[in-house]
Amino acid sequence: MTILVTGATGSVGRKVVDQLVARGVSDIRALTVNPAKAALPAGVVPVRGNLRRPETLGGAFDGVERIYLAPAPEVAGEVLALAAASGVRHVVDLSGEPDSWWGSVNNAVEDSGLAWTHLWPADFMENSTVWARQIRETGAVREPRPDMATAPVAMDDIAAVAATALLDDTHFGRAYPLAGPEVITRVEQVAHIADAIGREITFIESDRAATIAALAPSMGENTEWFVDNVLLGYSPPTDTLPITSVEDIVGRRAITFREWAKANAEQFIGGKPTPPTT
């Protein structure tokens, strides 16, 4: 069985590759814009192509039975048409509920005629790295809703679920909301980061303008959208979050935010942050 991972050098896609390798899968193809710089594990076959430019995907799906589909809402339908025409049978997509900002990916997958498994992640733990610069420079985090609570999920856990779904037909036709093992507030996330790096961090409740100013050096042109739609415009349904979803699918407890922060402390001290995912 040949599996193609799209976005294979991206934040989640590369972890999907690693999870498949760890499970002993021997026929993995990895879609990447620059195979020479992909630094893929031994045995993984790089395939040149850009998911967001379907015209570059000629032959990428030949002989492929299953794909992991990274979210590319603007071209998802076109990409899936190419996959279906090449004989792909099953797609595991990273998307969201139909009315969410990644919902168009979900809908395009269902319209494709392929067997599917949807992964609908909660807030990514890695998104907290947008605080790294202001933590290093000011010792503080500025946001408008200190008590906003989510059940953030680690990308490693998302990738583990994706690999499981790619290898097991019992996940056909299932949509999996993915969340971490605990509901925590923004203030609690900052406290875990402070503990991980051994430094006091102050949470400063800020208005829209101050929040945008604090995040813009890290997030660039996406800052206003993120502040308006996520920090100010979104109310997470914490009373219904399926906080055991990773454990139910993979068979082990999901990573806690405290564990993730300790493992990624260097990103807040001086390392390269994970690009924010919205």
Inside any domain, residue 160: no
Torsion of CA 65, 69, 72, 73, to 10 degrees: 80
Cα maximum dimension of the chain? 55
Q: Do 98 and 55 sit in the same domain of this protein?
A: yes
Question: Among 74, 101, 121, which residue terminates a domain?
Answer: 121
| Comparison of pLDDT for 272 and 237, the residue scoring more | 237
Tell me the pLDDT band of 272, cut-offs 50, 70 and 90: low
Q: Which amino acid is at 275?
A: P
Inside any domain, residue 131: yes
Tell me the pLDDT band of 233, cut-offs 50, 70 and 90: confident
Tell me the pLDDT band of 239, cut-offs 50, 70 and 90: low
Q: Which of 9-13, 95-99, 251-255 has the lowest mean pLDDT?
A: 95-99
Tell me the pLDDT band of 258, cut-offs 50, 70 and 90: very high
Q: Do 68 and 135 sit in the same domain of this protein?
A: no
Q: What is the pLDDT of residue 240?
A: 58
Encode 119-148: b = buried (16+ Cβ within 10 Å), e = exposed. bbbbbbbbbbbbbbbbbeeeebbbbebeeb
| Tally of domains in the chain | 2
How would DSSP label each residue in 207-224?
A: -HHHHHHHHHHHHGGGHH
Q: What is the pLDDT of residue 277?
A: 52
Q: Do 47 and 115 sit in the same domain of this protein?
A: yes
* pLDDT tens track for 4-38: 999 999 999 999 999 999 999 999 999 999 998 99
Asked if 226 contacts 94 with a C-beta cutoff of 8 angstroms, the reply is no
* Residues above pLDDT 70, as percent of the chain: 95
Q: What is the pLDDT of residue 166?
A: 98
Q: Any idea which residue has 């999907």 for tokens?
A: 16
Q: Do 44 and 100 sit in the same domain of this protein?
A: yes
Q: Which amino acid is at 202?
A: T
d(CA 6, CA 70): 6
CATH number of the domain within which 117 lies: 3.40.50.720
**Phi then psi for 4, rounded to 5 degrees?**
-105, 125
Q: Do 129 and 196 sit in the same domain of this protein?
A: yes
**Average pLDDT of the chain to the nearest whole number:** 93
Q: What is the pLDDT of residue 103?
A: 84
Q: Do 110 and 7 sit in the same domain of this protein?
A: yes
Q: What is the pLDDT of residue 278?
A: 41
Q: Do 20 and 59 sit in the same domain of this protein?
A: yes
Q: Do 104 and 135 sit in the same domain of this protein?
A: no
Inside any domain, residue 9: yes
Q: Do 65 and 139 sit in the same domain of this protein?
A: no
Inside any domain, residue 158: no
**For residue 136, what are the domain limits?**
125-152+181-240+255-269
Inside any domain, residue 172: no
Q: Do 20 and 102 sit in the same domain of this protein?
A: yes
